[in-house]
Structure 1
């Protein structure tokens, strides 16, 4: 019994964050503020060369990918041709310089046109309007579109 009490006390003390030798991580440094033009940023991704931060806005905003420099200044607007911003939720990039936009917001559970747009930003130097490759998908549980209060997608991740 005494061993259990001692072991329990040791475990409780070891879980105390003040007892651990870890660096203080609760102070965040603000690098920059987003441009005021961007009212509802729903995702950001770093470019392959680490010089541009790509940003998108949420539902109801333009079908544009915004490029920011590392100081937060807007450097470019890329219009995504023939694509509506139904509910752009997130953006990510791959090692080849492509970016992917998750157009899969579904707050009302009434969308069946969930998609991921793929943009090849290596072509950006030639034009400010981009075409895209569209990948539609459905969730494993197709009832998502029929039942209310189901959990939907809000992020996209490349592995």
Structure 2
């Protein structure tokens, strides 16, 4: 029989969910911290791109505020609405791996960032963005989604996670 556990308490058992080898607190901590990786990655990318002509620390801090003011709510929303349910789905079907979660993050991140980009462009009086802009936006979104998923997995299991119980039955 497969041992099962509820997300909120390791003492409660649910027949639908396999036991998570880490305590529920780690999953909650991962949901709390991992989404910050997307706006941080975007901000660092903007700083290294240097196309905005920063004139000192004050300009960089203003940019950081704008990036986090827009990016953090979007990243948390995507994580809560799509990423965490994907994690639970993979775990429930015994398909969880860091690779599977990262691929899911890439698939989720691309359309989320495209929708955000379309919303920002639409707010400037343009109804549709050009194809190249949407392609670039989807690439950036896929990278950010993959990074958030990777950070989620690293925060949850660390660099090396224990083998699932089913892996013992080769």
TM bucket normalised to smaller: under 0.3
TM-score (norm 2): 0.23
Q: Which is strand-richer, 1 or 2?
A: 1
TM-score (norm 1): 0.25
Q: Which is helix-richer, 1 or 2?
A: 2
